[in-house]
Structure 1
Amino acid sequence: MWLAIGLVATGLVLIFTLGTTRPVTSEEAPTPPPAAPAPSVSPAAPRPAAAPPADRPTRSDEAELDTWARQLAGPTKLPAALLSAYGRAEMRMRGEAPACHLSWATLAGLGQVQAVGSGPLPVPQPVWDRWNARATHDGKKPDQRNVADAAYTVARALCSGGGDLTTANGWWQAVLGYTQSPQDTQDVLNAANTFAAAKP
């Protein structure tokens, strides 16, 4: 008899508990902490750099370009040959895309970030296939391993969108389109500004 009474009491407790317990609704669930905001990059325009000499299609400007590159080699800690290639690309683009205002410092920044400072400037194959050109205009075939041809090719690609690379929007659109990475683009800007601060 006591066993029966105990079983009945246990059953009543279970019925009472199950009958009065309900699932927690979404309204009653604890509110999760807000997600941390994604890191943002604020577009900024690059600083101006010491300009290479004017491009002179009808006569040699190699001596002036070499002098400019040698004067910047110490302050930038870049080889003069590399600076000559970047400077030549800027000189060429002044005539080909005068509204672009590409600076050699942007090319140097790309080389610093994408080649991990070792150079020469790497050119993705699709960019090379579309924009390759001979920097010296000597009639020879463009060479992807030639740093001057590589810099000139990248310059043509960066200026192809029609933007003004002295403005934040124009620069970021061009360089981000090339790197495909906001963080890499910010790193390029930082490096470009460091090179631009160098004075002959």
Structure 2
Amino acid sequence: MGRHRKRSSSTVRRNTVIALTGLIPAGAITVASGYGASADIPFLQTRAAANESVLEPSVVAPAVAVAPAPAPAPEPAPASPPPPAAPALPESLAAGPLGVPGINVAAYRSAEQLLAQSTPGCSMNWALLAGIGRVESTHANDGAAGADGTLFEPILGPVLDGSLAGNNVIMDTDGGELDGNATYDRAVGPMQFLPETWKHYATDGNGDGKADPQNLFDSAATTGKYLCDGGLNMADPLQATRAILRYNNSMAYVANVVAWSVAYSTGIAPAEADLPRIH
């Protein structure tokens, strides 16, 4: 947010993006086994002692040939379980690259077009805005917004009263108008602006005559204006880094935003190592 602090996960590395592949079970391995058995019954004989003659029985039992028992048929191999079905994505998620909801993509691209007209030297790319939106609010809680970009539920950061580790104490600057707290400030909207910063850069991104921090189009356009301030050019990696640090003074934050931005530009999801924990 324009303050700007956040959370995430992993270890520091930038600009390294490795394709993420899903592992789907191909099926179980089956083993078939068989066995056989045979019986051999000896002839019935009567033998005398060595000094006695062999007595011939009146009836001699014929040899009985016994057919070997047939080997049992092999047990049928267990059927391989079908591979698990891929989980169905919500319609909005399926519509965008790498899980960016379609309504968010529209807001980021709209902001890029507005800035191309108002601040062409900034070279703003929608993927950079998407990187910030991913880190700040997971694209407004996976695109929970109406067709005009207005959120179904407002997104508010923690109250900045010093009770949460890592957050500064920031006294109220807007009388609670935007964040509902007249004592302390809290970040507002999907791009997490402090009220004072929002009022300075607020931009109407969807042409409805107002700038609402809880609207995807307005917040994306305002974020672009904030990043471009001071004549920074997002096509220059060093200047882009300066701009992102203005958003949150943390190199781990920069690494996360850049990793997701590159992912949205290339279609290759970032590895865990590209997403360091933001303190």
Whether the TM-score (by the shorter chain) exceeds 0.5 is yes
Alpha-carbon distance in structure 1 between the residues aligned to 2:205 and 2:222:
8
2:245 corresponding residue in structure 1:
176
1:23-102 equivalences in 2 (<5 Å):
73-102=95-124
2:70 corresponding residue in structure 1:
none
Contact 1:109-1:189 within 8 A present in 2 as well:
yes
1:149 corresponding residue in structure 2:
218
Q: Which has the larger radius of gyration?
A: 2
1:131 corresponding residue in structure 2:
201
Runs of 4+ in 1 over 6 A off after TM superposition: 41-44
Identity in percent: 27
Q: Secondary structure at the match of 1:108?
A: helix
Deviation at residue 122 of structure 1 after TM alignment: 2.4
Deviation at residue 163 of structure 1 after TM alignment: 1.4
Alpha-carbon distance in structure 1 between the residues aligned to 2:13 and 2:260:
16
Deviation at residue 124 of structure 1 after TM alignment: 2.7
1:25 corresponding residue in structure 2:
none
Contact 1:161-1:174 within 8 A present in 2 as well:
no
Query: Once the two structures are superposed, what CA deviation does each residue of 1:139-188 show, in whole Å capped at 9, x if it has no partner?
Result: x2211111100111111000112111011111101111111211111100
1:28 corresponding residue in structure 2:
none
Alpha carbon RMSD of aligned pairs, Å?
A: 2.5
Contact 1:110-1:188 within 8 A present in 2 as well:
yes
- Answer yes or no: is 1:162 the counterpart of 2:231: yes
- Answer yes or no: is 1:198 the counterpart of 2:220: no
Deviation at residue 131 of structure 1 after TM alignment: 0.4
Alpha-carbon distance in structure 2 between the residues aligned to 1:192 and 1:43:
11
- RCO higher in 1 or 2 (8 Å CA, sep ≥ 6)? 2
Alpha-carbon distance in structure 2 between the residues aligned to 1:153 and 1:107:
10
- Answer yes or no: is 1:114 the counterpart of 2:118: no
Alpha-carbon distance in structure 2 between the residues aligned to 1:43 and 1:177:
18
Alpha-carbon distance in structure 2 between the residues aligned to 1:178 and 1:73:
28
Alpha-carbon distance in structure 1 between the residues aligned to 2:96 and 2:212:
28
Alpha-carbon distance in structure 2 between the residues aligned to 1:182 and 1:125:
24
Partner amino acid for 1:129? Answer: K
Query: Which has a greater percent of helix?
Result: 1
- Answer yes or no: is 1:104 the counterpart of 2:126: yes
Query: Once the two structures are superposed, what CA deviation does each residue of 1:25-77 show, in whole Å capped at 9, x if it has no partner?
Result: xxxxxxxxxxxxxxxx7876xxxxxxxxxxxxxxxxxxxxxxxxx9x934331
1:54 corresponding residue in structure 2:
none
Alpha-carbon distance in structure 1 between the residues aligned to 2:193 and 2:110:
17
For residues 73 and 196 of structure 1, do their structure 2 counterparts lie closer, same or farther at Cα, with a shift above 3 Å needed?
farther
TM-score, structure 2 as length reference: 0.44
Structure 2 stretches of 5 or more lacking a match?
A: 1-11, 16-91, 143-189, 269-279
Deviation at residue 116 of structure 1 after TM alignment: 4.1
Contact 1:108-1:192 within 8 A present in 2 as well:
yes
1:3 corresponding residue in structure 2:
none
Partner amino acid for 1:87? Answer: R
TM-score, structure 1 as length reference: 0.60
Contact 2:233-2:240 within 8 A present in 1 as well:
yes
